[in-house]
A and B are shown apart, each in its own frame.
Chain A
Amino acid sequence: MRVTFWGTRGSIATPGAETTRYGGDTSCVSISASDPTHLLVLDAGSGIRRLGLRIGQEVTRIDVMLSHLHLDHIVGLGFFAPLFRRDLSITIWGPRSSTPLLDRLGRYLSPPLFPVRLRDLESAYELRDVPVGAFDVGPLTVTAEPVIHPDPAVGYRVEGGGGTVAYLPDHEPALGPAFPSDPWWTSGADVAASADLLIHDAQYTGQEYAERVGWGHSSVDDAVAFADLVGARELALFHHDPSRTDDQVDGLLAAAQRVRSTVDVVGAREGLSITV
């Protein structure tokens, strides 16, 4: 699998001179595997716009997996060029809720918030709730699991070609009762177990987290502790706080790499590709 980051920022897009290296676009990651006609996309933050411009004619099917429906994870949908291509089949998956996905997404993709309605999109798109248990998406196997974050939210486990990617962009495992000592009582531990690459929320410093317990995010230290607990091989710090400059992310990354840990730690940045 080839994993490419198109947006790594949390909460709100932050373009500017101080965010050029890690990027200012919000959550979007693509995964391509053995089938060149298929592309899997994790979340539809503002980073999905640039991804959409680079998808070639060889791709005929796209699966967009939404971790949850907070605005920074769906804001790019209306600007995702493939949704306006008639030759493409697109499935948008989202966490289950008592309200249908169509109604929930439609609140954003309709006037007065957006000029184009969902029904006006030209591609052969479909909206689906993620099922319980593993399911096949093109050449990949995906498992979704509800995780601790306000409102329905899931983490994804993507398996293919002998590798595993876990994606938990907005996640607060420290809110559990036994963190970080007992995987059974730790949110997200199943989807992230022994992942080759864990893409995980690392929005806060420890001091910031202490002031924002319950907001649904993790400190960098907790992201490392979670990666250790689940036995991940590599951790990509993700969902950088919008107030964080590139130099500050560098500092947090360096501190995370100094922690006694069995995990390799990288800072997720726009344009970074990792082969799993």
Chain B
Amino acid sequence: MGAPVELILIRHLASRLAVPVFVVDRAGDLVFFNEPAEAVLGRRFEEIRSMPFDDWTIAFLPSEGDQPLAVEDLPLVVALRRGIPAHRAFGIRAGDGARRTIEATAFPLLATGGELVGAVAMFWEIEGA
């Protein structure tokens, strides 16, 4: 089964944006992140292609202060599971080994019929944090 048209269109849009964008499908599996996101995450999308929910939610070791950030508190997971926008600043360990602090805003993708087809996070690195 192919991607819902809403995911196809959001990927198309994300590939043309300068802001980092991370897209998951309705199951929460990673389906795309764009080039600006690659720079922050330290990974190339073409090397990953896709990643199950259980993997990407821990792959970047999200943290808040000195403590790990619970998976259910990640903005993208909140957006996906509760169907509401979510925003948070937290730390990650990027694929290149660097620790970075990012600020992420996530929102659910609800199609015109109201069905959830995925979720999107847009994020920024907080320089000097």
Contacts and interface: CB of A to CB of B under 8 A. Distances in A.
B9 interface: yes
A153 B112 CA distance: 10
Contact of B11 (A132, A177, A190): A177
Interface stretch (A91-99, A217-225, A260-268): A91-99
Interface in B9-67: 9, 11-12, 15, 32
B37 to A, nearest CB: 15
A175 B11 CA distance: 10
Contacts of A145: 5
A152 B112 contact: yes
Contacts of B115: 132
A236 B129 CA distance: 59
A237 interface: no
A227 to B, nearest CB: 16
Interface residues of B, number: 17
A179 B15 CA distance: 14
A177 B23 CA distance: 14
A177 B12 contact: yes
B30 to A, nearest CB: 14
Contacts of A187: 5, 8
A177 B113 contact: no
Interface in B111-125: 111-115
A190 B112 contact: no
Nearest to A146: B5
Interface string A91-122: 00001111000000000000000000000000
Interface residues of A, number: 21
Nearest to A130: B113
Contacts of A148: 5, 8-9
B12 A175 contact: yes
B113 A97 contact: yes
Contacts of B114: 98
A97 B8 contact: no
A235 interface: no
B82 to A, nearest CB: 20
B8 A183 contact: no
Nearest to A153: B5
B3 interface: yes
A269 B11 CA distance: 36
Interface string A19-41: 00000000000000000000000
B9 A175 contact: yes
Contacts of A14: none
Contacts of A97: 112-113
Contacts of B9: 148, 175
B2 A129 contact: no
Interface in A139-154: 145-148, 152
Given A97-B112, A145-B5, 10 more contacts: A96-B111, A129-B113, A132-B113, A146-B6, A147-B5, A148-B5, A148-B9, A177-B8, A177-B12, A186-B2
Interface of B: 1-6, 8-9, 11-12, 15, 32, 111-115
Interface of A: 95-98, 129, 132, 145-148, 152, 175-177, 183-187, 189-190
20 contacts: A96-B111, A98-B114, A129-B113, A132-B113, A145-B5, A146-B6, A146-B112, A148-B8, A148-B9, A175-B8, A175-B9, A176-B12, A177-B11, A184-B2, A184-B3, A185-B11, A186-B2, A186-B8, A189-B2, A190-B2
